[in-house]
Amino acid sequence: MKILILCTGNSCRSQMAHGFLQSLDEDIQVFSAGTHPAPNVNPLAVEVMAEIGIDISRHTPTDVNTYLDKTWDYVITVCNNAQETCPTFTGNVWKRLHIGFDDPSEAKGTAGFIRNEFIRVRNEIRNEFTKFYLTEIKEQQQ
């Protein structure tokens, strides 16, 4: 099973989703990418994931073009903000899904508020990707 998770910068939401999904099942191959990848994974994303025992500190943002010639069981887009454009993936895909989340890196306010936004989005990603795993992946493996 090969899964690609896409967003614009590949620095927050797609990286957190990648970490969660991989933590649920080490036998599936999970990758993430962006249409305009950032230079690094957002440090707050790394921090809030580490708090729940998932290490994404060695992840690196990757350009979606790296994966266009591959075959995928699932390609999942996770961007949700109106000012963003979710990427269109033109590769060979069995199933495409959109599971959207706010971009916590766009949050404005105090450091505490911004950190809480990362935690909120992390928790939403955990909930939605756990549902995805149980209903789509686990069901196919049985």
Catalytic residues, which ones?
7, 79, 86
**Is 41 in a helix, a strand, or coil?**
coil
Residue 4 parent element (H or E) = strand 2-7
CB of 44 closer than 8 Å to CB of 104? yes
Which amino acid does the sequence have at 14? Answer: S
Residue 3 parent element (H or E) = strand 2-7
